[in-house]
Amino acid sequence: MTGSSGVRPALLVVLAGVSAALQVGKLPPAIPVLRETLGVTLVQAGFLLSLVQFAGVALGLAVGLAADGLGLRRCMVAGLVVLSAASLLGGWAHDATTLLALRAVEGFGVLLATVPAPSLIRQLVPARGLAAMLGLWGTYMPFGAAVALLIGPAFIAAWGWPAWWWLLSTPSFVMALWLLRAVPSDGARRRQASASASARSAPLPGWPQRLRQTLAAPGPWLVAGCFAVYSSQWLAVVGFLPSIYAQAGFSGAATGALTALAAAINMVGNIASGRLLQRHAPAPVLLATGFIVMTAGTIAAFAAWHGVSLLPLVRYLAVLLFSMVGGMIPGTLFSLAVRLAPSEHAVSTTIGWMQQWSSLGQFLGPPLVGWVAGRAGGWQWTWAVCGACSLLGLLMVGRVARLLRLRPAAA
């Protein structure tokens, strides 16, 4: 299906997600400046990083339930408008309290703009290309974050952080207008589906039934838990990299470039997971590989051994490995969420539940790593936090594998 603009609507959905991810990634480059101006601690900086996820922690499941009833495209457009307005107002914030409150509003916008997206992609893409497109969708966060991390330091140094907030209000508003113009409305897609050779779909069940279906099934819980332990450690490591390298004496431009590459390389794993799933690679194997390599990467990047000092280049390469191979996890989980949803009508609800737990992980992960770093006087125990997350992930992957064996059609 191609929109009137000539761009595939599903690709526009991905680009809309990227514009939302810019709002998540805009903060790490500003943390050193905000710490100087506001005197925030490492723990407070961690909450600044993760506060954008607060709406997801509180409302992920509710937005997933509402998305089908209100309209997938309509929810995405509303979220993008909220993001644009909150970022615009944030540039005029003169105290930390106002900035924190608007950061929470931005979190609500991110939630509205991203939770409906996998379900919308599922309606726009033929079944044979769904795994690859969902893998591409999984790149929205690392790509958007990488762009913000790369441009942010130089822009903030030249024009200040308020102008940075104002600048990033624009892409969200542009994508809201583009989605309205180029992506068919929910009503138009339903009429097209009804006119196709396939049979009419069953009526949409009420939200209480979809909620019961989702929470009674093991699949949504497992993909949600895996996403939580993945996202908590990924955002903690990548989000604090600018601060880590700034403390090490790197320039703003260097820290931005190094962190942007660490975020962007996550896309390799996302895209690879979609391709591998299309070639029938077992999803549990991809998940387990991601968690194991993330643990090994953080040990090499952060652990301190007496008498052994790894070169900074080796440590940075370990961070790249952590992000790149770990990227297979979200790409695989988006595909599993579609496949393990208890019914066709519960896909958005399952995605919302997964987003709620992902947001919880991102909300708690950075403050925990910041607290451990503050207590230890450095980042050398970061690997222990990430390793514990990966161990929990591996335990859940074993349950996923057993579930898929019981449901061979879903595998």
Give the CATH number of the domain where residue 398 resides. 1.20.1250.20
The share of the chain scoring above pLDDT 90, in percent, equals 33
d(CA 79, CA 120): 15
Domain that holds residue 181: 9-186+207-406
- Structure confidence at residue 122 (pLDDT): 84
Contact predicate 229/389, CB 8 Å: yes
Which runs of consecutive H residues, i.e. helices, occur in 303-346?
312-326, 328-340
Q: How far lies 68's CA from each of 256, 265, 341, in Å?
A: 39, 33, 14
Lowest mean pLDDT segment, chosen from 72-81, 148-157, 200-209? 200-209
Task: Please write down the long-range contacts of 97-106, taking CB distance under 8 Å and 24 or more positions apart.
Answer: 100/47, 100/48, 100/51, 103/27, 103/48, 103/51, 103/52, 104/51, 104/52, 104/54, 104/55, 105/55, 106/23, 106/52, 106/82
Residue 276 lies in a domain: yes
- The predicted model gives 195-207 an average pLDDT of 55
Residue 154 lies in a domain: yes
Residue 352 lies in a domain: yes
As given in the structure block, the two tokens for residue 29 are 């480059």
Residue 192 lies in a domain: no
pTM of the model: 0.79
For residue 55, give every residue at least 6 positions away whose Cβ sits within 8 Å of its Cβ, in sequence order, or none.
Answer: 104, 105, 107, 108, 109, 110, 111, 359
Residue type, 360: L
* CA-based nearest residue to 340, from 408, 390, 281, 289: 408
Contact predicate 382/230, CB 8 Å: no
* CA-based nearest residue to 70, from 177, 170, 186, 178: 186
Contact predicate 244/379, CB 8 Å: yes
Residue type, 263: A
Judged against a pLDDT cut of 50, whether residue 410 lies above it is answered with no
Most confident of 84-98, 200-214, 235-249, 389-403: 389-403
**pLDDT tens, residue by residue, 347-402:** 878 888 888 898 888 888 888 988 898 888 888 888 999 999 999 999 999 999 99
Residue 362 lies in a domain: yes
Residue 1 lies in a domain: no
Most distant pair of Cα atoms in the chain: their distance: 71
Judged against a pLDDT cut of 70, whether residue 261 lies above it is answered with yes
d(CA 197, CA 401): 35
- Structure confidence at residue 80 (pLDDT): 97
Residue 411 lies in a domain: no
Total tally of structural domains belonging to the chain: 1
Residue 4 lies in a domain: no
Identify which has the larger pLDDT, 47 or 17. 17
> Which of the 8 DSSP states describes residue 410?
T
The partner residues of 305 in beta bridges, in order of sequence, read: 308
- The predicted model gives 7-13 an average pLDDT of 86
